[in-house]
Homo-oligomer: A and B are copies of this chain.
Amino acid sequence: MTYCVAMRLEAGLLFASDSRTNAGVDHIATYRKMHVFELPGERLIVLLSAGNLATTQSVISLLRQRLAHEVANLHNVANLYEAAVLVGNTVKEVVARDSSSATLGQGVDFGGNFIVGGQIRGESTRLFHVYPQGNFIEAGEDTPYFQIGESKYGKPIIDRVIARDTSLHDAAKCTLISFDSTIRSNLSVGLPIDMLLYPADSFAPAEPHRIDADDPYFNKLRRGWGEGLRRVFAKLPDAEWF
């Protein structure tokens, strides 16, 4: 599996992805699931991917190799909506190609989910979730985040903490705690984590940060959170009815 989170806050955008892929427990590997397309000063488009690795890799490869010569590509689409359309069409193209074997393809899930977000000059930041069918939804005022992959373990802490006006620093903290909870409870999600924080309207070069098992900040955070939880837990009252 996979775990990816993206948030669209007033302060900017956050993207985070784990990097474990598995096709059975004896076929585990590490792949980057965060893909950056940028023209610093003009546009940043970030893709996070989950699902069939053959599909998601092909989609990224096609999107990259078409930057040079396709009429519409991620370096020239006029807005983020058109970027989501392009990603959706590419997903449909790859799934149609790979699932065309009538005999061998049965029972294989060729689907992939993508989160597409960023900013193109002339627009504010935008964030989309592109489904395996190629259609997509956009994050709005009341839904500041999307998750794909193993999303349930890490959802409660996000639901408790994140609002539109959360700072990028707090969003990063919350996201790393969400990843920590997921990694502890599910073997198919694993380090390293790639994280990208983009302040709105900065058009600054994207600098994804990679967090692995000996990252001092991540370890300080997981220790502080675990100890803090146990302290809070210990202070909660016992039931009177038992």
Q: Which residues of A contact B (CB under 8 A)?
A: 150, 152-157, 159-161, 168-170, 172-174, 177, 181-182, 184-186, 197, 209, 217, 220-221, 224-226, 228-233, 235-242
Contacts and interface: CB of A to CB of B under 8 A. Distances in A.
A221 B236 contact: yes
A237 B209 CA distance: 17
Contacts of A160: 184, 226, 229-230
Contact of A235 (B153, B156, B224, B237): B224
Closest 8 pairs (CB-CB, A-B): A228-B232, A152-B152, A156-B181, A169-B238, A155-B185, A156-B185, A224-B236, A197-B242
A13 to B, nearest CB: 13
Contacts of A168: 242
Given A161-B233, A228-B228, 15 more contacts: A150-B152, A152-B186, A153-B153, A154-B156, A155-B185, A156-B156, A157-B229, A160-B229, A170-B233, A174-B233, A209-B241, A209-B242, A221-B236, A228-B233, A231-B232
Nearest to A241: B209
Contacts of A230: 160-161
24 contacts: A152-B153, A152-B185, A153-B155, A156-B156, A156-B184, A156-B185, A160-B226, A160-B229, A168-B242, A169-B239, A169-B242, A172-B239, A172-B242, A173-B238, A174-B233, A209-B241, A209-B242, A217-B240, A217-B241, A224-B232, A224-B237, A228-B235, A231-B232, A232-B232
Contact of A229 (B153, B229, B241): B229
A140 to B, nearest CB: 19
A241 B194 CA distance: 13
A236 B225 contact: yes
A170 to B, nearest CB: 8
A224 B235 CA distance: 9
Nearest to A240: B217
Q: Which of A184, A229, A237, A239 has the most CB of B within 10 A?
A: A239
A100 B203 CA distance: 62
